[in-house]
A = this chain, B = another copy of it.
Amino acid sequence: MWRADADAARSDGPATAAASYAGTDFHEWWEERHRVVRSSVETVPFEELEGWKFEEGTENLVHESGAFFTVQGMRIRTEDRGSWSQPVINQPEIGILGMLVKEFDGVPHYLVQAKVEPGNLNGLQLSPTVQATRSNFTRVHGGAGTRYLEYFRGGRRGEALVDVLQSEQGSWFWHKRNRNMVVRVTDEVPLHEDFRWVSSHQLHGLLTEPHLVNMDTRTVLACSAYTGPPRGDHGDDPYADALARSYDATAGARLHTRGEILSWFTDMRTRCGWRTELIPLSDVKGWSRSREAIEDDERRRFRIIGVRVKADNREVRQWTQPLLAPTTTALAAFLTKPVDGVLHLLVRARPEPGVLDTVEMGPTVQCVPETDGGAHEPFYEDVARAGAQRVRFDTTLSEEGGRFYHARTRYLIVEADEDFPVEVPDDHRWMAVHQLTDLLRHKHYVNIEARSLLACLHSLR
């Protein structure tokens, strides 16, 4: 196994390899991109969306080409949380989130991109090398070709270190998955000005800056985690030492075997009696449509809106599209606890209506505090009221700006109190980090919020 992070962590310093391969300091490059790439986004009424219409009969919001995505309805019947219907983004195509990785002087670097997305609250965020729907790369929109796509598709030139389908937000998407890829190259790669090689160590460090590293980059980083941690010298920091040991399948004890974890997950899936189905948007109850928005009558969930975008560095320079705008900031948190010197994460098996097989493993706490107050989250108080010295990571990051408008999640990694129990409710399990990241080789075990947190966790190594 190729140990990207191990090498990177050792070698990367102030006079970084990243700098030497891009010619400037990262932040200088980033500021420069902000100056050069002009973009603007304005909300517009639905009638100004070009090529989009409300389909007769269903009232679904569709593109006239049949491509991209549609906004339609989803109905959910549960045994434990009532039944409801809501709008949902249906995008059955599988896109690519692909990262090129290459060693410079023995230090692995990722090729990242300064990319404008219409829903980004700050215009530019840091994207993977390729972030493209099938509509993008088959050019339904009639724009320019996707840069670097040839490394991931068809005449691929590198070795795929990561290649797995992973789900995205199950409250907002219907069965959405993207193909998460890391492809290693050894040849010279022509560098476009919107792109830059960044060392693994530096990229993880950038996760502590609000709204900089985008969701797609985070999920790809999480999926490459099984390449392993540094077994570094953490003698002075017991937390960092326990974290390093948690990536190492051979270090210390585990609370549960792999077989026990898989059996638990099978049980959780089997017990969940949620039934979900796609329905016409016209059949959704408790939501209404105005000229500017589709929103729930209680204004607690989200709005579907229209935007007009102008950007200099996208395949198409000007376009309009719908976006989903959440009402407020979400929260996703892992409680952590060392067990026998190995850091464990408290994972929860979570039903989410839009996820293909309904149940995936998610964070300890995942909720929207302002609207649901953590009602279904047994450990909400442990996370929300943790003392500062127990909070290991606390940064607010953006969700996918291509579909969501200013969608923010506060990501927290919190050390549990020392007397926090090892015994937890049925739908929770303590797992070592490698036990969770091993499952990322396979589709649909770990949800998008937990994957973002795993990427954030790597920044603590």
Residues on A close to B: CB < 8 A?
92, 94, 160-161, 163-165, 179, 259-260, 262-263, 266-267, 269-270, 275, 356-357, 441-443
Q: Cβ of B163 and Cβ of A266 under 8 Å apart?
A: yes
Chain A interface helix/strand/loop/mixed: mixed
How distant is the Cα of A131 from the Cα of B441 in the complex, in angstroms?
Answer: 31
CB closest chain-B residue, reference A278: B277
Closest 6 pairs (CB-CB, A-B): A163-B263, A160-B263, A163-B266, A94-B270, A442-B442, A179-B270
Of the candidates B179, B259, B260, B270, which one forms a contact with A165 in the assembled complex, judged by CB atoms under 8 Å apart?
B270
Q: Cβ of B160 and Cβ of A259 under 8 Å apart?
A: yes
List 15 A–B pairs whose Cβ atoms lie within 8 Å, in order of A's numbering.
A94-B270, A160-B259, A160-B263, A161-B259, A163-B259, A163-B262, A163-B263, A163-B267, A165-B269, A165-B270, A179-B270, A262-B442, A356-B356, A357-B443, A442-B442
Least Cβ distance of A360 to chain B in Å? Answer: 12
| Copies of this chain in the oligomer | 2
How distant is the Cα of A165 from the Cα of B443 in the complex, in angstroms?
Answer: 14
Least Cβ distance of A160 to chain B in Å? Answer: 5
Least Cβ distance of A429 to chain B in Å? Answer: 14
Q: Cβ of A164 and Cβ of B266 under 8 Å apart?
A: yes
Of the candidates B92, B94, B270, which one forms a contact with A275 in the assembled complex, judged by CB atoms under 8 Å apart?
B92
Q: Cβ of A266 and Cβ of B165 under 8 Å apart?
A: yes
How distant is the Cα of A76 from the Cα of B259 in the complex, in angstroms?
Answer: 36
Q: Cβ of B262 and Cβ of A164 under 8 Å apart?
A: yes
How distant is the Cα of A356 from the Cα of B177 in the complex, in angstroms?
Answer: 14
How distant is the Cα of A200 from the Cα of B164 in the complex, in angstroms?
Answer: 35
Residues of B with C-beta under 8 A to A269: 94, 165
Residues of B with C-beta under 8 A to A160: 259-260, 263
Least Cβ distance of A276 to chain B in Å? Answer: 10
Q: Cβ of B441 and Cβ of A262 under 8 Å apart?
A: yes
How distant is the Cα of A194 from the Cα of B179 in the complex, in angstroms?
Answer: 49
